[in-house]
Structure formats: structure tokens, C-alpha cells
């Protein structure tokens, strides 16, 4: 039985020594501790290394010598070995728990970091969509601003054309008015001259002495004078024509004045309408520039947010890389280590059972 216990402990120690683990909870394997303990407390103890190396000669010799000892000589020592096995078992179980906790912590931290990373990626994607939308809004505003400016230029060009046309019309008006006034003045002058002439002529006829008696067979002098005066009666018709021409010129002048006033009123109304349109366009420009300012500020906020999100994303990626670096040993060897520790515990339980039986038999 002692040989079997030694072989079990040696095997358990060898397995424990070969286990790859990032945690160092003991400084010696069960095999090393048991060898040291056996040399101190058990006479003719089978060397654990001999069991591990399969040195059957040494094992048989030690087992023969132990059978020669009194039956209860090593009972207390066996109980001490059992206590040591219990201590080893607790240490291995503690290693199991710590490794499981570390594995769970690594996995939890990595899963949380991966969720955070995915969230940051979604935030970056949404931020990019919002930035594109804002840029489109700014482009639309710029296009609208250009449209308003083009419309204002068209209105200003139309105002310039209207002003030029109005100046031309006014110059034509002044010219025609001048011509009509000159004509009216000429007609009035001619009328006055004719009136003065005929008035003077009439006075001259009235002051002429009485004619002598007419010769037999000739016309009386009154008849001659009457016949002569008939020729001068047409002067009244000329004066009437001059007055008629004056009346026509005055009517033309009045018509020119009315047309000028109507043209001036229309021009004033058009200018006022154009000024109102320009004022409205200026208000639209102010509103558009205000909206553009808000959009530019939003774009700046989104770009700043993008930088922040990219920094946060980089930190999460670095953290995941750190988890992979620090936890890779635990995660890669977890199953292997747990299986090895289960084997150790199983072997230690068997050893404990054997030793407990030997101690009871003693």
C-alpha cells in the first residue's frame, strides 16, 4: 500500500509540476513536499522521485524495509501526510477558483469592451451620417444664397435699365415740350402780329377822306372800297387757323405732361416694387446666413465629436489588445489546467484513501 501511495503522490506531483498556469500559489509540487516530509518522519520511505522514474529496485527495497517496522510506527506520520494531502487539495481548489475567476473576468471585460467598441462604431457611423446631412444642408444653403444673389442682380439690372429708359423718356419729353412751347410761342407771336397789323389797317381805312362823285357809268367808290376790303377779311381766317394751331399745340403739350406724369408714376411704382423685392431678398440672405451659421456650428460639433469618438474607439481597441495579451495564457490553457487539476485532485483523493486505510490498519 505504501508503494501505491508513493506512486500516486509522485504522479500527482509530476502532473502538478507540468501544469501551465499564470498563477503561482505554491513553491513546490506535492511530490517535492512529500519527499522532504518522508525523509524527516518516515523511516525507509520510498523516494517519490524513484516512483516517478520507475525505479522498481528502490521501491521494492524500501517497501520491504517498511514492512519490518512495528505496525504502528508510522501511523502518526501517515496522518500528517493525509493532512498535507488535504492542504494540497485546498491549494489546488483555490487555484481552480482563482483561474476560473480570472477566466470569467477576462471574458466579461473583453465582451464588455467589444460591446463598447461596437457601440462606438455605431456612434461613429451615425455621426458620419449626420455630418453628411449637415454638409448637404450647407451646400443647399449656399445654392439658395447664390440664387438670391442672382435674383437681386437681375432686379438691380432691371432697375438700371428702367432708370436709363426713364432718363431717355424724360429727355424726349423735355425736347417735345420745348418744341411745342416754341411752336405755341411762335403761333402766339404770329397771331399778335396779325392782330396788330389788321387793327392798324382797319384804323387807316376809317380815317381815309370821302371819295369824289363817280363818273357816269363807273362804280361808286363805296363799292370799290368794299371790294378792296373783302380781300383783307381773310386775315380773320388766318388768325383763326393760328388760334386753332395754338389750341392743338396746347392740347399736345397737356398730353405730353399727362404722359410724362403717368410714366413717372409707373417708374416710381416699379422702383418701389424693386426696392421691396431687394429688401425681401436681403432678409432672405440674412435668414440663410443665420441658418448656415447654425449648420456650420453643428458641423464643427460633429467633427469634434468624431475626434472624441475615434479616440475612445482607439482606447477600447487598445484595451481589448491588452486583455488578449494578458489573458491569452489563461484562456488558451484554461481547459488544460482545469483538467490537470482535476486529475491532481483525483490522485490525491486516491492517495488519501490509501493512507487513511493504512493508518486505520495500524
pLDDT tens figures, 26-55? 445 555 555 565 555 554 454 544 444 445
Quickly state the pLDDT bin for 86 (edges 50, 70, 90).
confident
Quickly state the pLDDT bin for 235 (edges 50, 70, 90).
low
Predicted pLDDT at 348: 82
Predicted pLDDT at 152: 95
**Residue of higher predicted confidence among 59 and 143:** 143
Of the segments 86-95, 241-250, 282-291, which one has the largest average pLDDT value? 282-291
Predicted pLDDT at 275: 94
Output the pTM of the full model. 0.56
193 membership: H or E segment, kind and range: helix 75-206
Predicted pLDDT at 61: 54
Please count the other Cβ atoms lying within 10 Å of the Cβ belonging to residue 134. 20
Predicted pLDDT at 75: 65
Predicted pLDDT at 350: 81
Predicted pLDDT at 243: 85
Q: 6 pLDDT exceeds 50?
A: no
* Residue recorded with cell 488578449: 324
**Residue of higher predicted confidence among 232 and 94:** 94
Q: 11 pLDDT exceeds 60?
A: no
Per residue in 216-232, pLDDT (tens digit) is 444 444 444 434 444 44
- The CA dihedral of 53, 54, 60, 62, to the nearest 10 degrees, is 20
The mean per-residue pLDDT over the stretch 253-276 comes to: 93
Please count the other Cβ atoms lying within 10 Å of the Cβ belonging to residue 145. 16
**Residues 6+ positions from 347 with CB-CB distance below 8 Å:** 8, 9, 11, 12, 15
Quickly state the pLDDT bin for 358 (edges 50, 70, 90).
low
Quickly state the pLDDT bin for 85 (edges 50, 70, 90).
confident
**Residues 6+ positions from 272 with CB-CB distance below 8 Å:** none
Quickly state the pLDDT bin for 359 (edges 50, 70, 90).
low
41, 77 contact by CB (below 8 A): yes
**Spatial separation of the C-alpha atoms in residues 64 and 42, rounded to whole Å:** 14
Amino acid at each position: 500500500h505504501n508503494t501505491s501511495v508513493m506512486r500516486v503522490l509522485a504522479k500527482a506531483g509530476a502532473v502538478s509540476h507540468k501544469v501551465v498556469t499564470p498563477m503561482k500559489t505554491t513553491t513546490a509540487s506535492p511530490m517535492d513536499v512529500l519527499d522532504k516530509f518522508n525523509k524527516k518522519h518516515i523511516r525507509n520511505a520510498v523516494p517519490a522521485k524513484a516512483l516517478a522514474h520507475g525505479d522498481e529496485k528502490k521501491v521494492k527495497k524500501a517497501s520491504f524495509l517498511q514492512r519490518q517496522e512495528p505496525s504502528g510506527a508510522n501511523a502518526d506520520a501517515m496522518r500528517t501526510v493525509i493532512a498535507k494531502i488535504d492542504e494540497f487539495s485546498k491549494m489546488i481548489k483555490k487555484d481552480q477558483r482563482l483561474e476560473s475567476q480570472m477566466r470569467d473576468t477576462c471574458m466579461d471585460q473583453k465582451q464588455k469592451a467589444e460591446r463598447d467598441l461596437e457601440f462606438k462604431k455605431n456612434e461613429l457611423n451615425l455621426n458620419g451620417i449626420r455630418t453628411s446631412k449637415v454638409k448637404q444642408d450647407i451646400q443647399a444653403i449656399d445654392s439658395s444664397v447664390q440664387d438670391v444673389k442672382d435674383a437681386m442682380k437681375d432686379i438691380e439690372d432691371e432697375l438700371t435699365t428702367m432708370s436709363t429708359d426713364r432718363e431717355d423718356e424724360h429727355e424726349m419729353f423735355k425736347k417735345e415740350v420745348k418744341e411745342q412751347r416754341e411752336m405755341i410761342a411762335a403761333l402766339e407771336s404770329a397771331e399778335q402780329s396779325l392782330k396788330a397789323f389788321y387793327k392798324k389797317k382797319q384804323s387807316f381805312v376809317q380815317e381815309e377822306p370821302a371819295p369824289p362823285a363817280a363818273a357816269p357809268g363807273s362804280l361808286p367808290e363805296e363799292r370799290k372800297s368794299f371790294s378792296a376790303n373783302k380781300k383783307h377779311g381773310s386775315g380773320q381766317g388766318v388768325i383763326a387757323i393760328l388760334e386753332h394751331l395754338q389750341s392743338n399745340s396746347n392740347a399736345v403739350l397737356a398730353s405730353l405732361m399727362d404722359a410724362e406724369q403717368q410714366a413717372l408714376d409707373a417708374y416710381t411704382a416699379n422702383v418701389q416694387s424693386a426696392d421691396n423685392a431687394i429688401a425681401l431678398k436681403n432678409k432672405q440672405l440674412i435668414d440663410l446666413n443665420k441658418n448656415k451659421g447654425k449648420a456650420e456650428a453643428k458641423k464643427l460639433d460633429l467633427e469634434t465629436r468624431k475626434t472624441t469618438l475615434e479616440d475612445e474607439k482607439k482606447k477600447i481597441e487598445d484595451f481589448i489588445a491588452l486583455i488578449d495579451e494578458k489573458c491569452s495564457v489563461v484562456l488558451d490553457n484554461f481547459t488544460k489546467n482545469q483538467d490537470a487539476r482535476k486529475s491532481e485532485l483525483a490522485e490525491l483523493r486516491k492517495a488519501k484513501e490509501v493512507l487513511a486505510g493504512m493508518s486505520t490498519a495500524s
